[in-house]
Amino acid sequence: MTAFPKQFLWGAASAAYQVEGAHDADGKGPSIWDVYAHLPGTTHEGTNGDLAADHYHRFKEDVALMAEQGLTSYRFSIAWTRLLPQGRGAVNPAGVAFYHALIDELLRHGIKPMITLYHWDLPQALQDLGGWESRETVDAFADYAELCYREFGAKAELWATFNETVVFIGMGYITGAHPPGVRDPARALQACHHVFLAHARAVQRFRELKCEGRVRADAVIGFVNVLQPHAPASDRPEDIAARELADGCFTHWFYDPVLRGEYPAALLHWAQEALGAPLFAPGDAELLKANICDFIGVNYYKRELVAANPDVDNTRINTSGEKGSGREFGFRGLFKFVRNPSGEYTDWDWEIYPKGLTEGILQLKARYGNLPVYITENGLGAKDPIIDGEVVDDARIDYLARHLKAAAEAIAAGADVRGYYPWSFTDLLSWLNGYQKQYGFVYIDRDHHLARQRKKSFFWYQEVIRSHGSLI
């Protein structure tokens, strides 16, 4: 017996900068990641996405592997700068042609595309004008989204505007570890507000074009967020209060505007009093309210234990893959994330906690109602063992199997979970961790012309799909 509904999608995921390579091919413009990853000291051992998995040139081979594995959907992102090298204005026909070719190849194999419009690679030309701090970027994004709908709207059914705003805004504007490398909470909140507006404008255009018949009648548009459930480190009142605050800052702040069309009121009041941000312009509140999206995509990797934080002021994370080398992460005076003494951890110090996927999805259901959910990312980052030439990634199989069971439990409890997209299909670039942090079903041999090799998990997932999940 399978726990998964008949139409359940068996996917895998990627993002343009992390797989495509061909960073300056055929008229593509530079994104903020193309520039940032070339600055000294920004990434693990100076790794970048110039070549990545060269998916841009090898997508046919990759799609053939997806078909062989039995995927029924593939989540990928469009590189804004392939279509619009300067972020707006002149369209690059070669970039448009590439995504048509990729989508056609997927459809030819019966694989549904799930398109992410923005997976962090803002055009550098727009960054130079202020990036997400500027309302011009909101306009540019709405136009870019419309271009994508006009081009691919007749072909693709599943769309998401943004991937993980908490990460690209949090790391871009608070911890400073991602481009543009700013450390200023007030600027973060304003930039984040503009992302929500850009999302709302893109949802609005999507629906307009759907009415005009330019986008398929069955197409839906959603938003992809990190799902990071928080639990108090103890039952001390100060830890419980710290958990509430962390949940507000990491979860409600990012889900409420797209699923309720408004910010969590108390937190908004606090932010505006303490930091003077975000500032609203006339019409912003109405725009958010009128454009609630159709589904939520959740990226689940870990949960966090939260404690009151009188002392820790650290936002550096483990990027080495040496277990235990990470320090406590926290904002002094607010909250910190602490290690679970009895927890199971990855080499990057992420807690492995499958139950958190069930709990997190049910928490969303309780707060936002029974909306459609896609698990748009879930996976184990590891240095995979190679034994006699085979990639024997048993730890990944174990991780995925336990999380799939957790997804099945959420479904059994009444959640409307419609698809599962492990991160990632092939090995790819991990933003700050280079190529040593592997996630894929397919190994990319960087010493042998990026040759593709099926890992043990490839065959395991193939069987899971074949049995429609009854195997797990």
Of 430 and 457, CB closest to ligand BGP: 430
- Give the sign of the dihedral formed by CA 360, CA 70, CA 219, CA 201: positive
Q: Name the minimum Å distance from CB 164 to ligand BGP.
A: 5
State which of residues 433, 436, 438, 453 lies at the interface with ligand BGP (CB under 6 A): 433
Round to whole Å and give the CA distance between 198 and 135: 9
Cβ-proximal residues to 459 (8 Å cutoff; 6+ apart), any chain:
none
Q: Name the minimum Å distance from CB 217 to ligand BGP.
A: 30
- Count each helix (H run) and each strand (E run) in the chain, helices first: 16, 16
Q: Name the minimum Å distance from CB 379 to ligand BGP.
A: 7
- Residue 398: CB atoms within 10 A of its CB come to 15
- Site size for ligand BGP (CB under 6 A): 13
Q: What is the CA radius of gyration of the chain?
A: 21
Q: Name the minimum Å distance from CB 75 to ligand BGP.
A: 10
- Per CB under 6 A, does 396 bind ligand BGP? no
State which of residues 127, 163, 175, 453 lies at the interface with ligand BGP (CB under 6 A): 163
Cα 394 to chain center, whole Å? 24
User: Could you report how far apart the first and last alpha carbons of the chain are, in Å?
Assistant: 10
Of 172 and 381, CB closest to ligand BGP: 381
Q: Name the minimum Å distance from CB 202 to ligand BGP.
A: 18
Of 16 and 410, CB closest to ligand BGP: 16
Q: Which of 310, 299, 304, 387 is nearest to 353 (CA)?
A: 304
Q: Name the minimum Å distance from CB 173 to ligand BGP.
A: 16
Q: Name the minimum Å distance from CB 299 to ligand BGP.
A: 6
DSSP-derived secondary structure letter, 323: T
* Ranges within 356-385 binding ligand BGP (CB under 6 A): 377, 381
State which of residues 76, 99, 149, 423 lies at the interface with ligand BGP (CB under 6 A): 423
- Per CB under 6 A, does 299 bind ligand BGP? yes
Q: How many CA atoms lie within 13 A of 460 on its CB side?
A: 20
Piece in contact with ligand BGP (CB under 6 A), picked from 170-178, 237-245, 359-367, 425-433: 425-433
**Residue with smallest beta-carbon separation from ligand BGP:** 430
Cβ-proximal residues to 356 (8 Å cutoff; 6+ apart), any chain:
229, 300, 302, 303, 406
Piece in contact with ligand BGP (CB under 6 A), picked from 138-146, 163-171, 185-193, 400-408: 163-171
Write out the catalytic residue numbers: 164, 377
State which of residues 193, 437, 452, 455 lies at the interface with ligand BGP (CB under 6 A): 437
State which of residues 12, 15, 221, 380 lies at the interface with ligand BGP (CB under 6 A): 15
* Ranges within 21-40 binding ligand BGP (CB under 6 A): none
Round to whole Å and give the CA distance between 399 and 353: 9
- Per CB under 6 A, does 164 bind ligand BGP? yes
Round to whole Å and give the CA distance between 363 and 215: 32
Q: What b/e readout covers 40-71, taking b as 16+ CB neighbours within 10 angstroms? A: eebbbeebbbebbbbbbebbeebbebbbebeb
Piece in contact with ligand BGP (CB under 6 A), picked from 136-144, 153-161, 431-439, 451-459: 431-439
Q: Which amino acid is at 69?
A: Q
- What is the crossing angle of helices 456-466 and 394-412, to 10°? 30
Q: Which residues pair with 118 in a beta bridge?
A: 162
- Per CB under 6 A, does 49 bind ligand BGP? no
Q: Name the minimum Å distance from CB 272 to ligand BGP.
A: 28
State which of residues 430, 436, 438, 457 lies at the interface with ligand BGP (CB under 6 A): 430
Q: Which of 321, 329, 320 is nearest to 345 (CA)?
A: 321
- Per CB under 6 A, does 167 bind ligand BGP? yes
Q: Which amino acid is at 223?
A: F
Round to whole Å and give the CA distance between 204 and 219: 13
State which of residues 33, 149, 331, 431 lies at the interface with ligand BGP (CB under 6 A): 431
Which residues contact ligand BGP (rule: CB under 6 A)?
Answer: 15, 18, 163-164, 167, 299, 377, 381, 423, 430-431, 433, 437
